[in-house]
């Protein structure tokens, strides 16, 4: 009887291959790019998101490597918008105006302009952030083709849907490779924002935490009020300064930036309405206004907006004891000066007395030095038969103390000048 043999099957384990150096490198890269965000006040970022919310084309100006592209990438991610980047300088004009496609019967059907693939993708998605990078290195012919894209949102035969926002970036000509000045018509279609780095943001970001971009929270109950305020602000300025309605700069360089025109004033009006409804700070509004109509007209508009916030002098004179004066020093000074001018315009003893009572109120609720000039001017308006109100005694010490301080400062300055001879 043959001996039975038992077969022993030995299972062999396949050794796990060790990760390659490229796999390890990929893991390290993943860790390096694993960052988070935090809510952090950022005037630049808030101005950008406000302009994006207002559906206005934005142009970020900044030196190379300053973080413009990174900011746009983070903005698109935060707003959950697909990002489409188009390097303007490497495209032909036909890439924006469309390529002609000849059909069977051009005489009957015409020659349609075929759009590029990126435009087709945006239309199919229905929403997105179109980033036009290196705009200042695009030659004049490409800039001309971009006009229709930026203004009419058309690429060839396609129209970009309302859910698409347009943001561009450019380097100053001094730092752009083969840079061109932006043409005046193209520049006038953008909100220009100067993009500079904040070292604290950069340091914290390199540590793994960047500021979070969020769309502004618009108060639905303030929308009508915001529109009314924006219209009064712009129309009030232009009614008194008609020369600002359209002012094309003389130099080619300045024409490539923000300048006032009916188009840019309409954009400014929209931005003021959005900033008002969102409760944005004056710094954010300043960036947006100056980035749309330029520094000079923008600062005039901001000063006009400040005057709109001033209380009516007649209301202050009617109830000096319950008057609410602006907290900001320059606005409080302007309000008090306005009250004195109102008294000068209609000289009555009761109005003069009310103005003194208001100055006492200002002395009790703010910096004493702000009442010195209005008090001195008001005292000079006194008629001979007007009795001095008792409240003036409370102000006399402040005025005389201020004058003595001015005299001491003057003597100190004179002595210093004499010693320096």
Three-state SS across 231-290? Answer: HHHHHHHHHHCHHHCCCCCCCHHHHCCCCCCHHHHHHHHHHHHHHHHHCCCHHHHHHHHH
Residue 138 contacts residue 177 (beta carbons within 8 Å): no
Cα–Cα distance measured from residue 236 to residue 251, given in angstroms and rounded to the nearest whole number: 28
Predicted confidence band of residue 57 (pLDDT cuts 50, 70, 90): very high
Predicted confidence band of residue 11 (pLDDT cuts 50, 70, 90): low
Q: What is the pLDDT of residue 127?
A: 92
In a domain? residue 181: yes
How many Cβ atoms from other residues are within 10 Å of residue 161's Cβ?
14
Element (H, E) at 107: helix 106-109
Cα–Cα distance measured from residue 293 to residue 299, given in angstroms and rounded to the nearest whole number: 10
Looking up residue 75, the CATH number of its domain turns out to be 3.40.50.300
In a domain? residue 30: no
Tokens standing for residue 210 = 């960047």
Mark whether 165 and 49 lie in a shared domain: yes
Q: What is the pLDDT of residue 415?
A: 52
Q: How many CA atoms lie within 13 A of 33 on its CB side?
A: 8
Predicted confidence band of residue 234 (pLDDT cuts 50, 70, 90): very high
pLDDT at residue 2 greater than cutoff 60: no
Q: What is the pLDDT of residue 61?
A: 92
Mark whether 255 and 203 lie in a shared domain: no
Cα–Cα distance measured from residue 242 to residue 240, given in angstroms and rounded to the nearest whole number: 6
Q: What is the pLDDT of residue 13?
A: 62
Q: What is the pLDDT of residue 370?
A: 84
Cα–Cα distance measured from residue 411 to residue 416, given in angstroms and rounded to the nearest whole number: 9
The residue among 180, 211, 242 that closes a domain is 211
Residue 223 contacts residue 89 (beta carbons within 8 Å): no
Q: Please, which residues bridge with residue 89 across strands?
A: none
Report the mean per-residue pLDDT for the chain: 83
The residue among 211, 241, 273 that closes a domain is 211
The residue behind tokens 């036009």 is: 132
Q: In this predicted model, which residue has the larger pLDDT, 301 or 211? A: 301
The residue behind tokens 């070292």 is: 199
Q: Please, which residues bridge with residue 132 across strands?
A: 86, 168
Residue 70 contacts residue 195 (beta carbons within 8 Å): no
Mark whether 268 and 168 lie in a shared domain: no
Going by C-alpha positions, the residue among 348, 349, 353 that lies closest to residue 392 is: 353
Q: What is the pLDDT of residue 323?
A: 85
Return the SS3 of 63.
Answer: coil
For 160, phi then psi, to 5°, come to: -65, 140
In a domain? residue 182: yes
Return the SS3 of 301.
Answer: helix
pLDDT at residue 409 greater than cutoff 50: no
Mark whether 266 and 348 lie in a shared domain: no
Q: What is the pLDDT of residues 132-178, one digit of tens each?
A: 988 888 888 888 888 888 888 888 778 999 999 999 998 886 665 55
Mark whether 286 and 397 lie in a shared domain: no
Going by C-alpha positions, the residue among 339, 345, 338 that lies closest to residue 319 is: 339
pLDDT at residue 352 greater than cutoff 70: yes
Mark whether 68 and 199 lie in a shared domain: yes
Helix, strand, coil percentages (3-state) for the chain, rounded to 5, are: 55, 10, 35
Cα–Cα distance measured from residue 333 to residue 353, given in angstroms and rounded to the nearest whole number: 19
pLDDT at residue 401 greater than cutoff 60: no
In a domain? residue 105: no
Q: What is the pLDDT of residue 130?
A: 93
pLDDT at residue 24 greater than cutoff 80: yes
In a domain? residue 3: no
Mark whether 61 and 189 lie in a shared domain: yes
In a domain? residue 235: yes
pLDDT at residue 327 greater than cutoff 60: yes
Q: What is the pLDDT of residues 247-296, one digit of tens each?
A: 999 988 889 999 999 999 999 999 999 999 999 999 999 999 999 999 99
Mark whether 261 and 278 lie in a shared domain: yes
Residue span of the structural domain in which 226 resides: 220-308
Mark whether 94 and 184 lie in a shared domain: yes
In a domain? residue 4: no
Predicted confidence band of residue 29 (pLDDT cuts 50, 70, 90): very high
Mark whether 271 and 375 lie in a shared domain: no
Cα–Cα distance measured from residue 301 to residue 299, given in angstroms and rounded to the nearest whole number: 5
Element (H, E) at 381: none
Mark whether 230 and 200 lie in a shared domain: no
Cα–Cα distance measured from residue 393 to residue 262, given in angstroms and rounded to the nearest whole number: 53
In a domain? residue 224: yes
145 secondary structure, DSSP code: H
Please state whether 99 falls in left (phi above 0), alpha (psi between -120 and 50) or beta: beta
pLDDT at residue 348 greater than cutoff 60: yes
Residue 394 contacts residue 356 (beta carbons within 8 Å): no
Domain total in the chain: 3
Residue 142 contacts residue 186 (beta carbons within 8 Å): no
Mark whether 75 and 150 lie in a shared domain: yes
Q: Which residues contact 390 (CB under 8 A, 6 or more apart)?
A: none
The residue among 177, 211, 245 that closes a domain is 211
């Amino acid at each position: 009887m043959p001996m039975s043999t038992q077969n022993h099957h030995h299972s062999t384990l396949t050794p796990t291959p060790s990760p390659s150096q490229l796999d390890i490198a990929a893991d390290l890269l993943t860790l390096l790019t694993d960052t988070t965000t935090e809510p952090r006040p950022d005037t630049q970022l808030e101005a950008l998101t406000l302009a994006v919310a207002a559906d206005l084309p934005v142009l970020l100006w900044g030196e190379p490597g300053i973080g413009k592209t990174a900011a746009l990438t983070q903005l698109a991610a935060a707003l959950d918008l697909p990002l489409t980047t188009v390097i303007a300088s490497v495209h032909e004009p036909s890439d924006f105006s469309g390529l002609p496609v000849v059909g069977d019967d051009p005489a009957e059907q015409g020659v349609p302009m075929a759009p590029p693939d990126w435009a087709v993708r945006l239309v199919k998605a229905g929403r997105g952030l179109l980033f036009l990078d290196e705009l200042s290195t695009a030659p004049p012919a490409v800039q001309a083709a971009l006009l229709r894209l930026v203004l009419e949102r058309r690429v060839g035969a396609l129209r970009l849907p309302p859910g698409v926002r347009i943001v561009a970036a450019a380097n100053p000509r001094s730092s752009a490779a083969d840079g061109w000045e932006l043409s005046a018509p193209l520049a006038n279609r953008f909100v220009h924002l100067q993009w500079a780095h904040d070292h604290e943001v950069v340091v914290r970001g390199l540590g793994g935490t960047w500021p979070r971009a969020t769309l502004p929270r618009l108060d639905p109950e303030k929308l009508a009020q915001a529109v009314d305020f924006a219209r009064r602000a712009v129309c009030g300025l232009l009614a008194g300064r008609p020369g600002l309605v359209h002012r094309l700069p003389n130099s080619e360089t300045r024409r490539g930036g923000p300048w006032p025109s009916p188009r840019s004033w309409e954009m400014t009006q929209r931005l003021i309405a959005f900033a008002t409804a969102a409760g944005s700070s004056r710094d954010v509004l300043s960036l947006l206004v100056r980035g749309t109509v330029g520094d000079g007209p923008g600062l005039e508009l901001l000063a006009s907006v400040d005057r709109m916030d001033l209380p009516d002098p007649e209301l202050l004179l009617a109830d000096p004891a319950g008057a609410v004066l602006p907290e900001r020093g320059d606005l409080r000074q302007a309000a008090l000066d306005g009250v004195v001018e109102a008294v000068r315009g209609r000289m009555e003893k009761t109005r003069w007395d009310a103005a003194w009572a208001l100055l006492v109120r200002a002395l009790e609720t703010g910096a004493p030095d702000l009442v010195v000039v209005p008090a001195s001017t008001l005292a000079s308006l006194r008629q001979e038969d007007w009795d001095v109100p008792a409240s003036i005694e409370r102000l006399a010490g402040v005025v005389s103390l201020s004058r003595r301080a001015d005299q001491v400062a003057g003597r100190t300055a004179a002595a210093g000048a004499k010693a320096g001879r």
